[in-house]
Amino acid sequence: MLKITALAGGIGGGRFLRGLLRAAPDAEITVIGNTADDITLHGLHVSPDLDTVMYTLGGGIHEEQGWGRADETFSVAEELAAYGAHPQWFTLGDRDIATHLVRTQMLAAGYPLSAVTEALCDRWQPGVRLVPMTDERVETHVVVDEDGHHRAIHFQEWWVRMHASIPAERIVFTGIESATPAPGVLDALDAADVIVLPPSNPVVSIGPILAVSGIREALSSSTAPVVGLSPIIGTAPVRGMADAVLRTIGVEVSPQGVAGMFTDILDGWLVHSSDSDVVPHVEALGVRCRAVPLLMSDIDATSAMASAALDLAAGIRGRDS
Ligand code: FO1
């Protein structure tokens, strides 16, 4: 039984994982999910990246959006707006709210986020074991300079309300100092035959997971091959705002720039077929590199990407054994 462990954010992670499940139907897959996007709204604990993976693999996702539920209604959101309840820039659908009610109720009863996630996944049967990176609260906040005042706002406000329209001066993972890996995380990294970094946002999705104490060390000392897929094609992200946050931390917006963030943990890196000129530069970093199609247009494409990642891992394992 091939054991695969993947570190995943939200939309890109969910889409890739659907292809991984198709490419390796008999594998045992554990997903370590990013929780730094989490936000409390109207008293509810929302875990966007965990929910996106759970809904995408469980068949409940709103396909075009990549987040939230299919067949959604917004009666509660309309009523909240009628009361002038804030914020109104982050819309929770009625079906999605049930997820947040169960999560909030279980957290209030003392269950850790990992137990809550297991309970929610019991309904959705995503076909992977979804584990939050930590059971402690971590939130990505962004320092912006608005009208000459520096202030820290929640990542979701910067991304959803401001559309990342003003530069992020700094990105901080609040609470990361006291965050420890959730139960099962280090075991999943230790037991893995292959560890995969899907094309999630390297700064605000993969970054927080690696920042949880012990996780980056587990990856860099792992005997299992660690293979990543570039979220950047050419000089732009396939989706989202990875370019904006890469600029904030001073990393070149390119497939080799992102690979350079992870040379301590990467054994292999896939870049898009149009970036084949980048391959020798990545290999010069000591990371095996291949150029393959990385556009996640449909499940055939994501399954092919996943197979390419597993092939590269097998080649690396073969070389090292
Ligand atoms: N993104 C938006 O652009 N607008 C929204 O109103 C919004 C609501 C929302 C509700 C639940 C959820 O799980 C995700 C939601 N997102 C929304 C997406 C969210 O910002 C992303 O999933 C990630 O957190 C950022 O990549």
What's the confidence (pLDDT) of residue 203? 97
- Please tell me the distance from the alpha carbon of residue 157 to that of residue 150, in angstroms, as a whole number: 15
| Nearest protein CA to atom 2 of ligand 1, as residue | 160
What's the confidence (pLDDT) of residue 238? 85
**Atom number of ligand 1 nearest to Cα 90:** 6
> What is the average pLDDT score of the chain?
97
Mean pLDDT along residues 245-262: 97
Torsion of CA 30, 34, 35, 37, to 10 degrees: -150
**Atom number of ligand 1 nearest to Cα 204:** 26
| pTM of the complete model beyond 0.95 | yes
Give the CATH number of domain 3-60+120-134+179-320. 3.40.50.10680
**Atom number of ligand 1 nearest to Cα 51:** 13
Is the CB of residue 46 below 6 angstroms from any atom belonging to ligand 1? Answer: yes
Contacts of 66 (CB under 8 A, 6+ apart): 10, 11, 14, 15, 52, 56, 239
Q: How far is the CA of 241 from the centre of ligand 1 (A)?
A: 13
Q: How far is the CA of 52 from the centre of ligand 1 (A)?
A: 9
pLDDT confidence bin for 320, thresholds 50/70/90: low
232: pLDDT strictly greater than 70? yes
Mean pLDDT along residues 135-151: 94
* Domain residue ranges of the chain, discontinuous segments joined by +: 3-60+120-134+179-320, 139-177
pLDDT digits (tens, 9 = 90+) for 272-307: 999 999 999 999 999 999 999 999 999 999 999 999
Tell me the backbone φ, ψ of residue 74, rounded to 5 degrees.
-135, 35
Q: Which long-range contacts (CB under 8 A, 24 or more apart) does 95-100 make?
A: 95/60, 95/69, 95/71, 96/51, 96/68, 96/69, 96/72, 97/44, 99/51, 100/41, 100/44, 100/45, 100/46
Is the CB of residue 139 below 6 angstroms from any atom belonging to ligand 1? Answer: no
Q: How far is the CA of 45 from the centre of ligand 1 (A)?
A: 13
pLDDT digits (tens, 9 = 90+) for 94-119: 999 999 999 999 999 999 999 999 99
If one compares 136 and 318, the residue with the highest pLDDT of the two is 136
Collapsing DSSP to helix, strand or coil, 115 comes out as helix
Torsion of CA 89, 143, 242, 211, to 10 degrees: -110
Is the CB of residue 96 below 6 angstroms from any atom belonging to ligand 1? Answer: yes
Classify residue 283 as exposed, middle or buried by CB count within 10 Å of its CB (0-12, 13-18, 19+). Answer: middle
239: pLDDT strictly greater than 90? no
The two three-digit tokens of residue 113, written as one number: 């986020």
